[in-house]
Amino acid sequence: MGWSRRDFMKGAALGGGALAVGGASTAAKAQDEMKAVPRRTFEKPEIEVPIMSVGTVPLTAFEPILRAMEWGMNFVHTNAGYADGKAIQMVGRALKEIDRDDVVLGLKTRLGYDSVMRDLETLGTDHVDITFFHTTNPDEPAKPEVEEAYLKLKEEGVTKALGLTSHGSVPQVLEAGLEAGWYDVFMPAYNPGNAAEIDPIMERAAQEGVGGMVMKSLRGGGGEPEQVWANMLDKKHWTTICWSVRNDGNVDQMANFANKWEEYVSADTERALAAAAEGKVCASCGYCDGTCPQNVAVSDILRYEMYAAEYGWVDRGRKLYAALPASRNALGCTNCGACTQGCKARLSIPDRLRVAHRVLA
């Protein structure tokens, strides 16, 4: 065999045209060639990434990362808590097989210095490319302590760029990030249900050079993934879509889509998906969390239910639900209706909470 797996991955990561499949790759999926996935560029600092990137929420094996590298999908996003800590270990394991410089690493954190250092140790590297500050609290993105923590990491060469990621109170968190002005990439929960609200913010972000990375794109489960993703990529404020993978099959699905994504673009489909999401898909607006007199963790519970019912991550959903204080779980809902009045997605929240409790308890 002329290509070693390492050589092959280097070639794929460098981009370019069709590449011959070699070694163990052929076992995963029979095909004659692998075409490197198209790329876009985060502007500040300039970091080139594939239009589909590798999420690791459920990852318990390292081989899918190697498979993604073969397709040139060299942007990997992880967090110490994913898959009970196994995912970040698998990323570290994969890095032993790959030149560090060929990978773009994204790390979700709270910017605590010691925890970032622990994550680097687990990963077996001295730096990541983008450190993502995660919050659902709109008061946090513009705090001076956040910028100070980032600048310290940057000065020490631990990270090149700062991202902001959120799955709660998303519009308010992004607005606060824009106001702060020190973020390079935004990674919000984004789906057909909240697109109308998030897109104008991301358009303004793009004008200021802030890159866009989609997460939780398939929330609501309407339409084929390819249909959902294509209409997102058609909006130039999105640089890449992060999809969490479990296995080589997931990786191949992403890559095959990415190489012909424009064929799936359809304004009619986008309108239909948005209409189908109404009354069904939480828009992550955060209104309910500040409204409930019982302090029920509404948006978190709906997200945990999504993990279990839509993504098939039943254990993860149940574990997160079990970790909530009992006073904040769905049983605390008195059906007062206060939250539903301002729900952006017009969900029947008490009904949804009852369903979620059945799934998660």
Residues forming contacts to ligand SF4 in the complex (CB under 6 A) are 282-288, 291-292, 294, 296, 298-299, 302, 333-339, 343-345, 347, 349-350
Residue number with CB closer to ligand SF4 (245 or 345):
345
Q: How far is the CB of 161 from ligand SF4 (least distance, A)?
A: 28
Q: How far is the CB of 262 from ligand SF4 (least distance, A)?
A: 31
Residue number with CB closer to ligand SF4 (43 or 197):
197
Q: How far is the CB of 197 from ligand SF4 (least distance, A)?
A: 10
Q: How far is the CB of 27 from ligand SF4 (least distance, A)?
A: 43
Q: How far is the CB of 150 from ligand SF4 (least distance, A)?
A: 27
SS3 content of the chain, % helix, strand, coil (to 5): 45, 15, 40
Residue number with CB closer to ligand SF4 (123 or 170):
170
Residue number with CB closer to ligand SF4 (94 or 198):
198
The token pair at 38 is 């198209």
Residue number with CB closer to ligand SF4 (34 or 274):
274
Residue number with CB closer to ligand SF4 (206 or 349):
349
Q: Is 54:245 a contact under the CB 8 Å cutoff?
A: yes
3 state SS for 209-225: CCEEEEECCCCCCCCCH
SS3 47: strand
Report the distance separating Cα 81 and Cα 11, nearest Å: 32
Report the distance separating Cα 221 and Cα 76, nearest Å: 24
Give 107-172 as a DSSP string. Answer: EEE---HHHHHHHHHHHT-S--SEEEEE-S-TTSTT-HHHHHHHHHHHHTTS-SEEEEEESSSHHH
Report the distance separating Cα 32 and Cα 113, nearest Å: 46
For 201, phi then psi, to 5°, come to: -70, -45
Residue number with CB closer to ligand SF4 (266 or 291):
291
Write the DSSP symbol of residue 288. Answer: G
Could you identify the residue written with the tokens 């479990």?
A: 246
Q: How far is the CB of 172 from ligand SF4 (least distance, A)?
A: 11
Q: How far is the CB of 348 from ligand SF4 (least distance, A)?
A: 10
- Please tell me the number of Cα atoms within 13 Å of 305 on its side-chain side: 24
Sign of the Cα torsion 71, 72, 75, 80 reads positive
Residue number with CB closer to ligand SF4 (146 or 285):
285
> CA–CA distance from 146 to each of 135, 163, 177 (Å)?
11, 11, 11
Residue number with CB closer to ligand SF4 (20 or 336):
336
- Please tell me the number of Cα atoms within 13 Å of 318 on its side-chain side: 8
Q: How far is the CB of 281 from ligand SF4 (least distance, A)?
A: 8
Return the C-alpha torsion angle 220, 358, 345, 275, nearest 10. 40
Q: How far is the CB of 324 from ligand SF4 (least distance, A)?
A: 13
